[in-house]
Amino acid sequence: MKILKILAASVIGAAGFVTAAFADDGRYILLMKSKNSVPGNLASQVESAGGTLVRTIPQVGVAVATSSDPNFAANAKSIGAVKDAGPAAVSTLPESVATAEPDMTPTAADDLYNSGLVWGVDRVGAPAAWANGHTGSHDTIIAIIDTGIAWNHPDLASNVVYVDCYTSAGSFADGACNPYPSLSDHGTHVAGSAAASFDGGRVVGVAPEAGLAGYNTFEVIPDCGVCSFTDSRWAAMVDAADRGFSVISMSLGGTAQYGGQGTNGLATYVAAEKRVANYVNKQGTVMVASAGNSALDLNGTIIHVPGDIPQIMNVGATGIQPAPRFPFPNSFDIRAFYSNYGAPLTVTGPGGDCGEISTCSGNPVNGYFYAEFLVLSSIVAPDPVCAATASCPVGYGWKGGTSMATPHVSAVVSLVRDAEPGLKPNQVEARVKQTAENIGSRQDFGHGMVRADLATE
């Protein structure tokens, strides 16, 4: 298996919100009066209103239509079954920056983890949880909704139990998309932090024997780039819940402001988000999402979705102060410079922090290789050609962001559910919050640093 020789370092690891998409996208959310059905004749009614029905999610009473008519939303509201209509939204991914490779010649299985470079796994107390028998199992599956998981990666191959995709073209079942990453390695990196296996390759995740389900919802969207329609994510969330997966991990989302420019229709969009979250919660699946990387105060009129939606655990990020090989614990637990903060935070996890974007390069600064202060995990070199045969080159790289903090929390959730499968989502969240380590202000860290060992005692 070919391993990448260049390590990627991405400074910002969560998706951004493109508010302009509310006005110009030509894709619309239709919120039904019914919260659990879509009428069978909706397609013809949408056509009469000047649009084309392209997706239905009947479990939550949501449909999606496209139209070039700027008055379509108003027209759609005249359909008897429709409660409200508004423009759809998209999320974007950050760009990665290639870095020079340090000496990383493998010496043994899990050598990068054993060297101390995968510091976040240790910080959340995972080794102590493992020592007590809590390593996860394929009975508790972490659904990663992202850019897909490279299931040919040696650290992930034994734990990937399901893959799927949802895009504007349809789903994997329709033959409309490819679950394997062809556009970004983001989802593969996230998956490694959650559940890279023991002795499979060179890193280890927080729940190294948990199952992984990879959902690819990203595609190339004109005037946006590598983006995901939020309704594609909703379809994936509902599917994961219907399949009984234990936890949904979403290292994506973005920020908007009520009354802000380009946010007409935000209320309709948020109402749809709440419906989806409520359904998933009732199905028994825990949801975890990143809080965002804009260093914004989330109190007041600013909202970061999906993390701010009720019933979803909202994860901030911590980093480590520059110090020789991260001596425990004095150099840990600063709020990462990019992490959003405020009352909506549930807990925090290791996301990495190199001080500022300008120092997050592959070159040593004052004797430090600053990429090491980010999160090291599995990556893939995505390309549509090799993705068609699920054979793209794989390797290891650093990224930083609330995206990287989120899988640490999702994995702890999976360990709790594996230890006590009868717990309901609200009970799991309460356990994670109650056992989080107090590391400072609630405004900066929520209930604190997630702890795998304490949550599974």
Which residues are known catalytic residues?
146, 186, 403
Which residue's entry shows tokens 């028994």?
284
Burial 140-164 (b: 16+ CB within 10 A, else e): bbbbbbbbbbbbbbbbbbbbbebbb
> Could you give the CA distance from residue 267 to residue 273 in angstroms, rounded to a whole number?
10
- How many helices (H) and strands (E) the chain has is answered by 14, 23
Q: Which residues contact 358 (CB under 8 A, 6 or more apart)?
A: none
Name which of 165, 168, 220, 228 is nearest 18 in CA terms.
228
Calpha distance 315→433 (Å, rounded) = 11
Tokens of 324: 């020789």
Given a contact cutoff of 8 angstroms between Cβ atoms, the answer to whether 435 and 107 are in contact is no
Angle 429-434-440 (CA atoms, 0-180°, nearest 5)? 110
Per DSSP, the three-state class of 167 is strand
Angle between helices 402-419 and 186-195 (to 10 degrees): 40
